[in-house]
Chain A
């Protein structure tokens, strides 16, 4: 929920505002139950962030039972190991600890933030929630209603509606097409057995990553995992195999009507997955096109020169399977087509002419210079390490990544633009209202 005095930003996205932490070299190890652990010990402040990532995302739902993965993640803290949900929240709140659970398409997360002085008890509760959830009927019915409420509420957000419609069309039959939380009509039909079955299949140590940053040593962490997760049993079945999505063969335009004053636009096509060897080249290529900061080509043409939109950016999802490339913007209803034409012009020009040497130089300096700013806080470090662990990027990733950016050449970027941008094959989704004055 929104909190605090509304603060308006002149920029595109505030994201977190990043600072320092250059050259983090985490300790990476595996427990005997198969949990992958990434640890960055930092003693500057007496608290710890523990992010648990479980390969239990909604990609493993089915179309008929879409929403199970999310429902499981929401039910975990509602009762575990003999404690009720209320007892769990009372205990955590009393210590000033936060436990948040959620799920994306690719994985579920449990994030614990705790003061050092309460680490042991907070970790114990986290472990119960992760390894001994109760899944009681009464909680199930209540949380299901809450999720249904959330799903309704999300329909209020035209940006989200546009992005969902984009995924539905772009990914076709591939499981990426489904929204993380499922659909109202499928969630309504879910049963407690569905929840229990999904949990048993996917919430296993050997499908899990612990990403830990803050005032804790490896010995302490290993001790806690052994003491509280000793009985958590690994799976002997591998994760289901899922192929990459296939490209749409054609352009497509989807227009959805809503009573809004602004058209929400998503345009794009399939992108590259994180494990693609060209990923870093594509990342640098996109930075110039529509990446972070207030200087990209799309920002220049669509916002600064066109005055079309407050926010405009382009993005290649660093996904596990082949994900999307998308351009996202909003403009008043009657300028929607003009704004989209402008985006296509920018894409075409960039694809065929590529960037200037100066643009590449600037982009590289921005990306390498601002990289340490993304790794400043325990939370940011835990998030980023979890990402690096999921994609198997190696413990030296935080040292290596800036060098990889540095080594990208003008030829690389030109090739990446030619190969991975397809302005002639765009899927365009527009959620708009009647033309406004």
Chain B
């Protein structure tokens, strides 16, 4: 098993707190270089939501040494592909290229870890770009709008309440001073992890990282996130009426634990039986039997710092009522609590998880993504090594137990998207 997964990982922690994780794979002469920061929308406060993502954009706007856009030019000129992404729990930057280009990554990434310029004019322009991004991804996409509302309804205390991109008025009003403070607080070697996967020599990478990042001063420890979502005390409901929606859409969301709770394996299997593939309970019932839905799915992403939402949804066949579909979804949830699924379905779920894991190893980039995520979430890359095994030992009782414990009405938020033209 371990050979198949090829996880020959080496790690090192520099004196300034920067952790380096290297996975050698010499099958092709390329490598991915990734810098992960332990900061995302989870670390934000009301009134300044979206600041982590805005800062991610500004990371391409130059330092004293390299002017705006120069970073990207240098990467492109070296045949590299680069980008960055922000989520609730982390922000990451990467370059993929020939493995002999790694030093360029180190030069550029070490520079922008501490020396970002944050020019006022560039900042005002970039705010426009991010507002366009929000219009593109959320405002003009009815389902995204609904998902945003479901999160905002389901979480009232914890920062998962707001979207990663932030509320429009916050994007508008965040100041350069706010941004500078955010950068200074979170962009420091002790709050970052470097992940390198590809045709490299681990010891050489350690030496080079020391050379480029070793002199960067350790920052103060960032403030902890103290908000804890209290238990939900009854069903919540939210409706979005959209002028542009054509199909109704129904979503049920439950608060559930995330990674390292010990329950994430059973929750993953449960989700799989409910919603993965055409043979899943939701698809069979709502699409094949009742012909009430065009598509269905269940979703649980346990790779998160704090408790997350497990949700199921269905896009409705025109003419079907959201109320009826909600009832069908609830019935399928109830069946899981009563253990109404076969042993073969349990096996199937495990096989699917195992296969998906192997398919996911087929790229330096995605392996590095998984390592980086697990590192910044605090469980470490080692988590990957036991994941498939831990899924394999989930029992029917485990699945029923987590279903009963979490998929209950008092823990539920129902979201409904209603096309305005249907009213």
Contact = CB atoms under 8 A, between A and B. Distances in A.
Interface string B323-360: 00000000000000000000010011001111110110
Given A11-B83, A94-B347, A158 B362 contact: no
Interface of B: 4, 6, 27-30, 32, 53, 56-57, 59-60, 68-69, 72-73, 75-88, 94, 96-98, 124-133, 135-137, 139-144, 147, 163-165, 198-199, 243-247, 276-280, 283-284, 287-288, 291, 294-295, 297, 299, 301, 303-304, 315-318, 344, 347-348, 351-356, 358-359, 361-365
B28 A260 contact: no
A237 interface: no
Nearest to A157: B141
Contacts of A7: 85-87, 164
A17 B30 CA distance: 13
Given A96-B354, A156-B142, A158-B140, A308 B132 contact: yes
A8 interface: yes
B200 to A, nearest CB: 12
Contacts of B28: 19-22, 372, 376
B362 A45 contact: yes
Given A93-B278, A145-B291, A153-B315, A115 B69 contact: no
Given A18-B96, A45-B4, A300-B69, A9 B83 contact: yes
Nearest to A141: B291
Given A93-B277, A310-B133, A3 B347 contact: no
Interface in A254-313: 258-262, 292-295, 300, 303-311
Contact of B132 (A10, A155, A330): A330
Interface in A353-405: 361-362, 365-366, 368-370, 372-373, 376-379
Given A152-B247, A369-B79, A261 B139 contact: yes
Nearest to B369: A17
25 contacts: A6-B163, A9-B85, A10-B85, A11-B83, A17-B81, A19-B30, A20-B30, A22-B29, A44-B6, A85-B278, A89-B279, A96-B354, A96-B356, A142-B287, A142-B291, A145-B294, A153-B315, A156-B143, A158-B140, A294-B69, A307-B129, A332-B132, A332-B135, A372-B28, A376-B28
Contacts of A294: 60, 69, 72, 76, 82-83
B97 A369 contact: yes
A251 B392 CA distance: 62
Interface of A: 1-11, 14, 17-22, 44-47, 85-86, 89-90, 92-97, 113, 115, 142, 145-146, 148-150, 152-153, 155-158, 258-262, 292-295, 300, 303-311, 330-332, 361-362, 365-366, 368-370, 372-373, 376-379
Contacts of B68: 304
B291 A94 contact: no
Given A17-B83, A20-B364, A45-B362, A260 B244 contact: yes
Given A14-B83, A260-B140, A294-B76, 18 more contacts: A5-B87, A8-B53, A11-B82, A17-B365, A20-B364, A21-B28, A22-B28, A45-B361, A89-B283, A93-B352, A142-B288, A262-B135, A293-B75, A303-B129, A366-B79, A368-B79, A376-B363, A377-B363
Contacts of B142: 156
B246 A153 contact: yes
Contacts of A259: 243-244
A94 B87 contact: no
Given A262-B139, A330-B135, A331-B132, A307 B358 contact: no
